[in-house]
Amino acid sequence: MQKKFMLLILAILILFASAILVGCGRDDMNATENSFNIFELIEKGSFDDITLSIYYMRFWLLTQAPVTLEQLIGGWYDNTGQLIGGWYDYRTVVTSQDLTEHRDLIKQLFTTELTPTKTESTIDARLYYVFEHKEHGEIFSFIAFAGGNVIVNGIEVKDNDIFYQVILPFLPEEIAGHIVGEQ
């Protein structure tokens, strides 16, 4: 009985070891580079399949509690299960053709050095924008709220004027003025 148990353990170990060796010997074990390169697209001036969605809510508008990103952009459900729209005052989606006209500004945004903060502020989302690629999803996201810091790609970082300058050409004059006044 003990001999059969030892043979079973040995067979399992051999099977496990061979699976590891076969897996490690595969050619695709090396890290492959992501085929999507935003900088290459910017240099070419091609923003095909990229959109920029912008959501804005007045910074000075008082609310009973901080505004979550989900509340700002919409798509959340109330207690009855009804889909609720966003609390934004203005929303726009910018297409690839309009983005191409401002490629230098966008390149400056994507090459800006991000400086993480040591704080964790409560988000009161008043301005949110996201660059998205049709196939690769979210490329860059930004959330602004009163208080000085901002969130870029999910990380709280020190504020920088380029975060606002990049979207001003796509906003109505009145809203752009409000945003510039908040900086």
Q: Which of 127, 169, 167 is nearest to 150 (CA)?
A: 127
Mean pLDDT of the region 10-36? 51
pLDDT digits (tens, 9 = 90+) for 59-110: 888 888 889 999 999 876 777 877 678 889 999 999 988 998 898 899 999 9
Predicted local confidence at residue 29, as pLDDT: 41
This prediction has a pTM of 0.73
Contact between 85 and 77 (Cβ < 8 Å): no
In the chain, % of residues over pLDDT 90: 41
Q: Which of 75, 72, 77, 76 is nearest to 54 (CA)?
A: 72
Give the mean pLDDT of the chain: 80
In the chain, % of residues over pLDDT 70: 70
- Output 136 or 43, whichever has higher pLDDT: 136
Banded pLDDT at 33 (limits 50, 70, 90): very low
